[in-house]
Amino acid sequence: MAEGSVPAVWRRYPQRYRLVGSKCETCGEFFFPPRIICPNCRRKGKVVEYQFSGRGVVESYTVVHTPPADMEDQAPYVLAIVRLEEGPMLTAQIVDVDPREVKIGMPVRMVFRRISEDGEDGLINYGYKFAPL
């Protein structure tokens, strides 16, 4: 995608589409969402911004049949806890797969997708989801 075509809303919320967290260079632990202070090292920690690879595995999941109103058109869908290969866990929707085929331990990768569409002004929110690797 050309730089100029990135919607303004993406540029304003970089961690929603770049999967940026942080890393403590002192103890090697990764954080998502990013932390400024390492809970292990406190003031001795050197925490820097870190861009995750986007690869991980499904740690656990649930199939959502009755979603919030702005996601009605996507049900049923899979909401999973994904463990990134660097260690942190996050909650995300799993796409591009039949909900019945999702398994614990399944390798996944991050993809950019529409999250929801607000009814009134038609604003579409994008962010990260995960798809089978």
Enumerate residues 92-131 that contact Zn ion by CB under 5 A: none
* Separation between Cα atoms, residue 3 and residue 130, nearest integer Å: 23
* Interface pattern 33-72 for Zn ion (x via CB under 5 A): -----x-xx---x---------------------------
* Interface pattern 5-34 for Zn ion (x via CB under 5 A): -------------------x-xx-------
| Residue pair 47/18 in contact by the 8 Å Cβ criterion | no
Residues near Zn ion (CB under 5 A): 24, 26-27, 38, 40-41, 45
